[in-house]
């Protein structure tokens, strides 16, 4: 059989000859030209299936964000992998009262001025960052996501981020006795340029009206999985030296939590289909 060109309509309504032909009455697997705005349904099927090709410029609905009337009830579990991540978070809960800072102040006083400056600025970054993460969770993610299992995780994440924020504030309060310096560190978003730049980058994603949920999900995975990693490493450096066991223990707990939050973002991203 001689291959026959197929006529179609472009978005402007004029007839064009598709630069693909149908051989032996079957469609090829190749995607039609993008100018035709066709939804890709090119398949190995007879030419009679042509009418099933749909012209569509509308974005597809994201299942994670689709209105869910059952979101107020936990069971039945529809996303077991997301639920298991929530149960891992639940099993990892801790409070600041579990961290003993009794020996830390003695070790703090053994640090030289440059080391104190370095560690105090790391703590200032963390103290501000957990609040920014919670702002995004409360203002955007937990309102947008309609999957019950994910909402459970986000609710628990907000709680543990509050614990982190309390821990960092307590650490600064314990180590830094000068009131002016303490206020400087507590207001790091405004007073420290490096912290301010990171904070502005993160908050821009929270307030963005144009970024997709998937893009914002990746952005905050970067905050918790990349921004935090270097700062965690600096505190592990103190542990290697046998210093400040309270700080280093809290760092282990918080780095574990943040790693889980990053893993959860990656898990949700795998559920994104559009």
Asked about 168 being catalytic, the answer comes back as yes
Superfamily of chain region 104-271: Ribonucleotide Reductase, subunit A (1.10.620.20)
How much is the pLDDT for 29? 43
pLDDT in tens, 57-101: 344 578 788 888 877 877 888 899 999 999 999 999 999 999 999
**Domains of the chain by residue range:** 104-271
Tell me the per-residue pLDDT of 123-169, one tens digit each, with 9 for 90 and over. 999 988 888 898 898 889 989 989 999 999 999 999 999 999 999 99
The pLDDT-based confidence of 7 (bands split at 50, 70, 90) is very low
Tokens of 250: 């809290």
Identified catalytic residue from 86, 154, 168, 175: 168
* Residue 60: per-residue pLDDT: 58
pLDDT confidence of residue 203: 87
Q: What predicted TM-score, i.e. pTM, was given to this entire model?
A: 0.74
Q: Does 5 have pLDDT greater than 70?
A: no
| pLDDT (0 to 100) of residue 64 | 81
For the cut 60, the answer to whether the pLDDT of residue 192 exceeds it is yes
User: Three-class SS string for the chain?
Assistant: CCCEEEEEECCCCCEEEEEEEEECCECCCCCCCHHHCECCCCCCCEHHHHHHCCECCCCCCCHHHCCCCCCCCCCCCCCHHHHHHHHHHHHCCCCHHHCCCCCHHHHHCCCCHHHHHHHHHHHHHHHHHHHHHHHHHHHHHHHHCCCHHHHHHHHHHHHHHHHHHHHHHHHHHHHCCCHHHHHHHHCHHHHCHHHHHHHHHHHHHHHCCCCCHHHHHHHHHHHHHHHHHHHHHHHHHHHHCCCCHHHHHHHHHHHHHHHHHHHHHHHHHHHCCC
- From the list 173, 190, 51, the residue with the least C-alpha distance to 123 is 173
């Amino acid at each position: 059989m001689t291959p026959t060109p197929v006529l179609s309509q472009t978005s402007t309504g004029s007839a064009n000859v598709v630069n693909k032909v149908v051989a032996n009455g079957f469609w090829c697997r190749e995607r039609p030209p993008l100018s035709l705005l066709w939804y890709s349904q090119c398949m190995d099927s007879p030419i009679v299936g042509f009418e099933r090709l749909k012209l569509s410029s509308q974005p597809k609905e994201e299942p994670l964000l689709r209105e869910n009337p059952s979101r107020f009830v936990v069971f039945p579990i529809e996303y077991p992998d997301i639920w298991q991540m929530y149960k891992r978070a639940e099993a990892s809960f801790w409070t600041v009262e579990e961290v003993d800072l009794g020996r830390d102040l003695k070790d703090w006083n053994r640090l030289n001025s440059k080391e104190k400056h370095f560690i105090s600025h790391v703590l200032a970054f963390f103290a501000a960052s957990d609040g920014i993460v919670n702002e995004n969770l409360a203002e955007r993610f937990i309102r947008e996501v309609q999957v019950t299992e994910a909402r459970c995780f986000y609710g628990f994440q907000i709680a543990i981020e509050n614990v982190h924020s309390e821990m960092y504030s307590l650490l600064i309060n314990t180590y830094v006795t000068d009131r002016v310096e303490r206020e400087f560190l507590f207001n790091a978003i405004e007073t420290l340029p490096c912290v301010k730049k990171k904070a502005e980058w993160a908050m821009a994603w929270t307030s963005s009206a144009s970024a997709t949920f998937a893009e914002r999900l990746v952005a905050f995975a970067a905050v918790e999985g990349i921004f935090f990693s270097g700062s965690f490493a600096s505190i592990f450096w103190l542990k290697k030296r046998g210093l400040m066991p309270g700080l280093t223990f809290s760092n282990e707990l918080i780095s574990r939590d943040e790693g889980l939050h990053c893993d959860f973002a990656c898990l949700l991203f795998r559920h994104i289909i559009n």
